Amino acid sequence: MKRFFAGFAMASAVVVATPAMAGGQWIVNPAVGYQGFDGDRDLDEAATGIIGLEKQLSDQWGVELKYMYTSADNKYNVKAQDVDLQQGSIDVLRYLGGEKWKPYLALGLGHADFDSDARTAGETQANAGGGVRYAFDQSWSARFDARVINSLDNEQTDGIVSLGVSYAFGGSDASPKAAPAPLKPTEKDTDGDGVGDTRDRCAGTPVGVVVNASGCPLDSDGDGVPDYMDKCPKTPAGRQVDDQGCKFVLSRTEQIRMEVNFASNSADVPDAYLPEIEKVAKFLKQYGGVSAVVEGHSDASGSDAYNKVLSQRRADAVKAELVTRYGIDASRLTAIGYGEERPIASNDTREGRRENRRVVAVLKAEVSE
Query: Which whole number is the average pLDDT over 177-181?
Result: 53
Judged by average pLDDT, the poorest of 137-141, 203-207, 265-269, 284-288 is: 203-207
Task: Please say whether the beta carbons of 235 and 221 come within 8 A.
Answer: yes
* Choice among 47-51, 222-226, 250-254, 318-322 with the minimum mean pLDDT: 250-254
pLDDT for res 21: 37
Q: What are the b/e assignments for 123-161, b being 16+ CB within 10 Å? A: eebebebbbbbebeeeeebebebebebbbeebeeebbbb
3-state SS record for the chain: CHHHHHHHHHHHHHHHCCCCCCCCCEEEEEEEEEEECCHHHCECCEEEEEEEEEEECCCCEEEEEEEEEEEECECCCCHHHCEEEEEEEEEEEEECCCCCEEEEEEEEEEEEEEECCCCEEEEEEEEEEEEEEEECCCCEEEEEEEEEEEECCCCCEEEEEEEEEEEEECCCCCCCCCCCCCCCCCCCCCCCCCCCCCCCCCCCCCCCCCECCCCCECCCCCCCCCHHHCCCCCCCCCCCECCCCCECCCEEEEEEEEEEECCCCCCCCCHHHHHHHHHHHHHHHHCCCCCEEEEECCCCCCCHHHHHHHHHHHHHHHHHHHHHHCCCCHHHEEEEECCCCCCCCCCCCHHHHHHHCEEEEEEEEEEEC
Task: Answer yes or no: is pLDDT of 14 > 70.
Answer: no
Looking at the predicted structure, is the pLDDT value of residue 62 above 50?
yes
The residue that leads in pLDDT, 10 or 202, is 202
In this predicted structure, what is the pLDDT of residue 11?
44
- Rounded mean pLDDT, 272-278: 91
The mean-pLDDT minimum among 24-28, 71-75, 233-237 falls in 233-237
Number of C-alpha atoms within 13 angstroms, CB side, residue 102?
21
Range 271-277 average pLDDT = 91
Angle at 83 between CA 78 and CA 89, to 5 degrees: 155
Predicted pLDDT of residue 366? 67
pLDDT of residue 114: 94
Rounded percentage of the chain residues whose pLDDT exceeds 70: 86
pLDDT of 195: 82
**98 φψ region: left (φ > 0), alpha (ψ -120 to 50), beta (else):** left
Q: Which of 73, 130, 64 is nearest to 92 (CA)?
A: 64
| Nearest one of 345, 366, 368 to 157, comparing CA atoms | 366
- Report the percent of the chain where pLDDT is more than 90: 53
Look at residue 310 in the predicted model and tell me its pLDDT: 92
**Per-residue pLDDT for 184 more than 80?**
no
For strand 292-296 and strand 333-337, is the pairing parallel, antiparallel, or unpaired? Answer: parallel
d(CA 49, CA 131): 17
pLDDT at 170: 87
Question: Residue 253's pLDDT band (boundaries 50, 70, 90)?
Answer: low
Among 83-97, 127-141, 277-291, 325-339, where is mean pLDDT lowest?
Answer: 277-291
pLDDT on residue 45? 96
Contact 118, 80 (CB under 8 A): yes
pLDDT value of residue 19? 43
pLDDT digits (tens, 9 = 90+) for 90-119: 999 999 988 899 999 999 999 999 999 988
Q: Are 321 and 315 contacting, i.e. CB atoms less than 8 angstroms apart?
A: no
* Domains of the chain and CATH, by start: 2-169 (2.40.160.20), 251-368 (3.30.1330.60)
Nearest-5° Cα angle at 83, 78 to 84:
150
pLDDT at residue 174 in the model = 44
